[in-house]
Amino acid sequence: MKHLLKMMDLSTEEIIEILNLADQLKYELKHGIPHDHLKGKTLGMIFRKASTRTRVSFETGMYQLGGNPLYLSASDMQIGRGEPIQDTARVLSRYIDGIMIRTFDQAEVENLAEYGNIPIINGLTDLSHPCQVLADLMTIREYKGKLDGLKMCYIGDGNNMANSLIVGGLKTGMSVSVACPENYHPAATTLAFAKKYDCFELTDDPIKAAKDADVIFTDVWASMGQEGEAEIRKKAFKGFQINDEVMAVAKPDAMVQHCLPAHREEEITAKVFEEHANEIFDEAENRLHAQKAVMVLLMGNKD
């Protein structure tokens, strides 16, 4: 593994390696065991999209690993004034040891990897959100003790979360059922990958998708950059909500996961959210541990 650009690039073995190391680093942190694997290393963090969890978890993670996080707002950099991303990649490769970028276009992440010579981490694009899904898989495994053989259900927009969850779930042996409105399906590349698996289902019926699920996911109906579509999307996504009716057909011990921020009474009811708040905020915490594992594997030495 040279970069983390999207879930599709990771093998099953690499996903499990990341999760195992994340578990180890979480244990060490909770027990006060130092793990300064990135001492003297610097991570540049480029943000074209605002962030709470991504910025804080990467910054904190680098400090805990003994390294230096460097916040780089795109508006303060030359890429914000038209410098090609490939030039930014070649310049930053001479200064720092890795780049995390949170942006809109997946091509920017891919170009950083192509033209730079340091590890690139996708902190989020419109296509993919691999760091979040690694944290999701880590959380499911903590609660359920395994991934293989479980059923994952996703209800909502076929966005970056849906794309990454489908790939991550299938690669780790889960069956995956996705409920989206007809015009809001996951990316064609994701569906082409998923159709190779007998244990994948795409439907427009949330109840059908949630039947016997071990874990149910959702995300906001209008992601960052789609605020102008909010009212149209509210109409399109009516009924695509995690609520008591959906939970009633899932397994009695089904988990609920949400990448946050959550819009209560839209994609999830306040009642269901609060009933599963511990799982959801454990999921948020695990962004820290999963990303630390990625950074160590890409930029340092875990031994």
**Is 260 a known ligand-binding residue?**
yes
Report the C-alpha gap between 127 and 185 in whole angstroms. Answer: 12
Helix (H, G, I), strand (E, B) or coil at 18: helix
Catalytic residue from among 3, 37, 48, 102: 102
**Is 131 a known ligand-binding residue?**
yes
Residue whose token pair is 């007809």? 182
Diameter of the chain measured on Cα atoms = 55
Catalytic residue from among 97, 259, 276, 289: 259
**Is 130 a known ligand-binding residue?**
yes
Report the C-alpha gap between 184 and 156 in whole angstroms. Answer: 8
**Is 223 a known ligand-binding residue?**
yes
**Is 53 a known ligand-binding residue?**
yes
CB 257, CB 283: distance < 8 Å: yes
**Is 54 a known ligand-binding residue?**
yes
Catalytic residue from among 129, 141, 233, 258: 129
Catalytic residue from among 64, 97, 126, 132: 132
**Is 129 a known ligand-binding residue?**
yes
Catalytic residue from among 233, 276, 287, 289: 287
**Is 185 a known ligand-binding residue?**
no
Q: Is 303 exposed, middle or buried (0-12, 13-18, 19+ CB in 10 A)?
A: exposed
**Is 224 a known ligand-binding residue?**
yes
Distance of CA 99 to the CA centre of its chain: 17
Cis peptide before 261 (omega within 30 of 0): yes
Annotated active-site residue 87? The verdict is: no
Question: Radius of gyration over alpha carbons of the chain, in Å?
Answer: 19
Report the C-alpha gap between 208 and 293 in whole angstroms. Answer: 36
**Is 100 a known ligand-binding residue?**
no
**Is 241 a known ligand-binding residue?**
no
Catalytic residue from among 219, 233, 241, 289: 219
Annotated active-site residue 259? The verdict is: yes
4 CB neighbour count, 10 Å cutoff: 27
**Is 160 a known ligand-binding residue?**
yes
Q: Which residues contact 212 (CB under 8 A, 6 or more apart)?
A: 151, 249, 250, 251
**Is 64 a known ligand-binding residue?**
no
**Is 132 a known ligand-binding residue?**
yes
Annotated active-site residue 282? The verdict is: no
Report the C-alpha gap between 177 and 28 in whole angstroms. Answer: 35
**Is 52 a known ligand-binding residue?**
yes
- Return the ∠ at Cα 206 (arms to 205 and 211), rounded to 5°: 105
**Is 51 a known ligand-binding residue?**
yes
**Is 48 a known ligand-binding residue?**
no
Report the C-alpha gap between 35 and 96 in whole angstroms. Answer: 20
Annotated active-site residue 153? The verdict is: no
147 CB neighbour count, 10 Å cutoff: 23
Known binding residues for L-ornithine are 160, 219, 223-224
Known binding residues for carbamoyl phosphate are 51-54, 78, 102, 129-132, 259-260, 287
Residues annotated as catalytic are 102, 129, 132, 219, 259, 287
Known binding residues are 51-54, 78, 102, 129-132, 160, 219, 223-224, 259-260, 287
